[in-house]
Chain A
Amino acid sequence: MTHESAVRNAWTPAVATGWTVTVVEPDAPGTDGAISVEGMDDAALIAASMAGRRDAFDAIVERHRRTVYQVCYRFVGNHEDASDLSQESFVRAWRGLKTFKGQAALSTWLYRIAVNVCLNRVSVKTPPTDPIESTDHFEDTRVEGAQAALLREERAATVRKAIASLPKKQRATLILRTYHDLSHQQIADILGSSVGATKANFFHALANLKKLLGNEP
């Protein structure tokens, strides 16, 4: 735990009154005495990470890994690539910490990084998607229930595959708008485009999905 220095003085110059300056001795990173990252908000975690505290960056990863993974998964439609892209997103975030000015929420900044990592993915072929799980998964449920669940999962896999096959900007727009509730303006900022272009991308993403999914309910 930190200890307050014995120095605690009031400075009252002509133009500023009633100030108190308290100096708290900093703790070295990774030592028992370090201030816990548990209660830190995102801004404090960023500041601590920039000051070299790896445990603070670990906490950022822990806090945002699910969201980043989900963006990546929706982009590529399979676990293995999503995992690689998630890792790459966080490494880029680490490299870019100095450029994070706090002008956007940390989550928005991470969305931007993850989407760019996904957009820049070298592979342009239609990504492989995860296979549908077998009925073994539902062995404890009634047969009808298991069949319904399997149908639902088949349907979900079809949708995920269709999303993963959309043109990249349409895909990014659809994912951020539909699953992460970002505004058209936020998406435009992330993709470096206009709000009009973002709306057009969203429209075309839905129109293409409709075609890909046919008349299935």
Chain B
Amino acid sequence: MTHLSADELVDALDDTLESGRQAHLDACESCRQQVVELEATLGATRDVAVPEPSPLYWEHLSRRVRTAIDAEPPTAGGGSRWLRWPVLAPIAALALLVMALAVSLPREAPIAPAVATNEAADTAVDDRFAVVADLVGDLDWDTAVSAGLIVSPGAADRAVLDLTALEQRELARLLQAELTRAKS
């Protein structure tokens, strides 16, 4: 039987050696010796800590990072320009408007299931949903949370962008109906 390969010797160190190969290891003095030596080297290595810098060093490192980031071009890093707070606030207000619009609508009967399977109707619905998409743009969940848009209840949190296809259509339909009514 062949001796343990490099991979298998590492598995032996990790105690994850496959049983057939473990049987070889148990019976093979040469492989056992290799594992013992690897364990000894690993033990001697593991004990070695990184010298602890001065307690003042950590704040110094933070300052260095801050200074280096300040020198970065404004387009780099977090907060791509349009996502900054002055821009986020109106977006939040806009999203609020969408929600307010929705809550002001009267209840209507559920959509007939046939709508979901009708391709032409789907396209029309997608167009209507584009109204919502235009309003909320690329607002993702994290951004929505950052912007202060929080949807409850708790564990069942769902954002407007997390709606099922049926829910999206219903929201689009409600909005479209409201917009039509506003125009007339």
Task: Give chain A's interface residues, CB within 8 Å of chain B.
Answer: 2, 5, 7, 9-16, 18-29, 43-44, 46-54, 56-58, 61-62, 65-66, 69-70, 73-74, 79, 83, 86-87, 90-91, 94-95, 97-98, 130, 155-156, 159-160, 163, 174, 178-179, 184, 196, 199-200, 202-204, 206-207, 209-210, 213, 217
Contacts and interface: CB of A to CB of B under 8 A. Distances in A.
A51 B88 contact: yes
Given A26-B88, A210-B41, A51 B143 contact: yes
B86 interface: yes
Interface string B141-184: 01101111111110000100001101100110010000000000
Given A9-B99, A23-B148, A47-B143, A52 B78 contact: yes
Contacts of A98: 78, 80
Nearest to A5: B96
Given A18-B153, A73-B50, A206-B38, A163 B45 contact: yes
Contact of B83 (A52, A74, A160, A163): A52
Interface size class for chain B?
35 or more
Contacts, number: 213
Given A51-B146, A94-B78, A97-B78, A200 B58 contact: no
A50 B142 contact: yes
B18 interface: no
